[in-house]
Amino acid sequence: MFKNMPELPEVETIKIQLEKFLTGREIIGVEVRNRKTLADGEENLPGGKIIGVRRFGKVVVIDLDNDYSVLIHLKLTGQLVFQGPNLPGKHTHVIFDLDGGKKLYFNDLRKFGWIKIVKSGDVATESFIAKLGPEPFKDLTLEKFKEILSKTNRPIKIVLMDQTKISGIGNIYANEALWLAKINPCVPARQLDGKTARHLYSVILEVLKDGLKWGGASDQAYIQPSGEEGKYQEHFLVYGRQGQICQRCKKAKIAKTKLGGRGTYFCPICQK
DNA sequence: CCAGCAGCCTGTGCGC
DNA sequence: TGCGCACAGGCTGCTG
């Protein structure tokens, strides 16, 4: 199953590695094999020297010295691989040719991911990035978090995954955080009391940090630019564990339901 | 304002 | 063994 998608820890891992591999390198040329990958259908990508890599939520930004930046969203199955073996492959849609014969491959089985070129000065106001909510570890303070929850009656899990409310959390980490905090995914956000919200806040930072520590979660879709797999999937406590006994109460079986169209896993006893 | 859902896409895993 | 089909899911855009 290709069920995992790059979320904050995965994209941060990608960002850190790309920074190391790409900074200072020249983009000699770009081969576009699937034009639909380019969000605006740009034909000529603007070469230049790579001066840095940034991350906004789940978006990777590669900054060039010619005042252009390359925005990349991997969505569900996108990969950025530096110098991989057996590449390009069937799912390689864009190839960045770098100096020294090096290459950066953009692969995406489901073709949901996109690449967009904008002026570096316009990155912050680009439509997707401008709408992103506060970033965990940066501007998402506990106060801000409580304020976000207090303003809506939508299920807490939907709110956590809403990129305009908080950026970077996807289905895996939302499920894991709610299990750790013993909160039912369907509870309206506004109903969480101060203590519970505070607990959830610290648990969110904890799971994201943990994901990053293990280099992200790999199923088959996600791999790091180095070609390595993440290891976080070996540490899932609730995600994908439907039918298995809850690790905490040792009584209930993990249930699976759908919330906002997404697979939702929880312990019916622990998460009231 | 919000909720719900189709659409995008393709490998997987089920039923028959 | 193989065919057909439902399913997964981040995000957009449409409708109610």
Encode pLDDT of A230-246 as tens digits: 877 778 899 888 888 99
The pLDDT score that the predictor gives to residue A21 is: 96
Q: Which nucleotide is nearest to A153 (CA to C1')?
A: B2
Cβ of residue A101 near strand B, that is under 7 Å?
Answer: no
How distant, in Å, are the alpha carbons of A4, A17, A193, A257 from that of A131?
Answer: 24, 26, 27, 29
The pLDDT score that the predictor gives to residue A1 is: 38
Cβ of residue A243 near strand B, that is under 7 Å?
Answer: no
The pLDDT score that the predictor gives to residue A219 is: 60
Angle between helices A194-213 and A171-180 (to 10 degrees): 130
Which of chain C's bases lie under 7 Å from a protein CB?
A: 8-12
Q: Which DSSP state fits A102? A: -
Cβ of residue A131 near strand B, that is under 7 Å?
Answer: no
The pLDDT score that the predictor gives to residue A251 is: 94
The pLDDT score that the predictor gives to residue A47 is: 83
Beta bridge pairs of residue A73: A59, A114
Catalytic residue positions of A, numbered: 6-7, 58, 262
The pLDDT score that the predictor gives to residue A206 is: 95
For A84, the 3-state DSSP assignment is: coil
The pLDDT score that the predictor gives to residue A9 is: 92
Q: Which nucleotide is nearest to A256 (CA to C1')?
A: C8
Residues of chain A with pLDDT under 70: 1-4, 41, 43-44, 218-222
- CA A263 from centroid of its chain's CA atoms: 17
Which residues in range 199-238 of chain A are in contact with strand B, contact meaning CB within 7 A of any of its atoms? 220
Provide the CA A91 to C1' B11 distance, Å, integer: 12
